[in-house]
Amino acid sequence: MKNNNISVFIITKNEEDRIAMVIKAVQIFANEIIVIDSGSIDRTVEISKSLGANVFFNEWNGYGQQKIYGENLCKNDWILNIDADEEVSSELKDEIINLAKIGFEPDIGGYKIKIVNKFRFEKKPHKYAYYYNQLRLYNKNYAGFKDSTVHDSVVIKDKNIKIGQLKNIIYHQSFRNFSHWIEKINYYSSMQAEDSFKKGKKPSEMKILLSPFLAFFKAYFIRRYFIYGFNGITYSLIFAFSRLMKMIKTKEIFLTKKNIDL
């Protein structure tokens, strides 16, 4: 792995209950682990340092901005980005180790990895769990995060560079419990509403009325939440609520702006 060293960076805030699991899962193949903290008041920083991570403070300005700051700190060309609610599976760990030993292909700028939903009380994701496929392991010379407060995705800088696909997965447990899920919805929907306002996307009343029903359908059938039985209905209702919150907050911003201008 001499010429194929990998840096891992993780953004955090108050993740003392999860950060150790995340770091330990990547220690075997990463010769550099960086934690970018935006002001934790728990033991996140202490735990990260105790596990050998380099910890940096950076004031929060948005997801994309925080990720760009993180990748700029990485010394290696090859970077794996994971969040504090994501765990590299043991199978993916072995796959990355083997890939680094063989050597990264020169015409490939990065590899997509499946990020699979793992709900609370599950040791592993359901066999048919919903996943999204993202570019997470990449060469920073050919790819990087885009500057967006809401959308933190990696984009390829050179269209001639190929993207590979890894077989194994990352476990994603987005919320600790239902209260935490609602807190995240409240926070994230506010950012989404601001982003929609800046783009001039004012939702109609009809769209506001229909959005929760369409969102429920998407969650229950397209995201396959029906595989979780009764819990799947609960998850779908909360997903629908998140879409409604985004819509009504966006409308609220437009109305507020209109009243200020009058």
- What's residue 1's pLDDT? 36
Q: What whole-number distance in Å separates Cα of residue 95 and Cα of residue 56?
A: 29
Residue 3 identity (one-letter amino acid): N
Which helix (H) or strand (E) segment is 172 a member of?
Answer: strand 162-172
Instruction: Answer whether residue 214 shows pLDDT above 50.
Output: yes
* CA–CA–CA angle 40, 11, 125 (5° rounding): 110
Which pLDDT tens digit goes with each residue over 220-239? 999 999 999 999 999 999 99
- 203 Cβ contact partners less than 8 Å away, ≥ 6 residues apart: 196, 211, 247, 250, 251
Are 135 and 81 contacting, i.e. CB atoms less than 8 angstroms apart? Answer: no
Phi and psi based region of residue 127 (left: phi greater than 0; alpha: psi -120 to 50; beta: remaining)? alpha
User: What tokens appear for 194 in the block?
Assistant: 């601001």
- What's residue 2's pLDDT? 39
Instruction: Answer whether residue 257 shows pLDDT above 90.
Output: no
- 3 Cβ contact partners less than 8 Å away, ≥ 6 residues apart: 103
**Residue of 259 and 125 predicted with greater confidence:** 125
**Across-strand partners of 110?**
138, 163
Q: How confident is the model at residue 160 (pLDDT cuts 50, 70, 90)?
A: confident
- What's residue 261's pLDDT? 63
Are 120 and 231 contacting, i.e. CB atoms less than 8 angstroms apart? Answer: no
Domains of the chain in start order, with CATH, are: 6-172 (3.90.550.10), 178-261 (no CATH)
Which of 11-15, 89-93, 159-163 has the weakest average pLDDT? Answer: 159-163
Alpha carbon distances (Å) from 108 to 76, 104, 148, 165: 16, 7, 25, 10
Residue 198 identity (one-letter amino acid): K
Instruction: Answer whether residue 165 shows pLDDT above 90.
Output: yes
CA-nearest of 70, 69, 79, 54 to 4 is 79
Q: How confident is the model at residue 148 (pLDDT cuts 50, 70, 90)?
A: confident
Which pLDDT tens digit goes with each residue over 32-84? 999 999 999 999 999 999 999 999 999 999 999 999 999 999 999 999 999 99
Q: Tokens 């209260």 — which residue? A: 179
Instruction: Answer whether residue 3 shows pLDDT above 70.
Output: no
The whole-angstrom distance between residue 241's C-alpha and the CA centroid of its chain comes to: 20
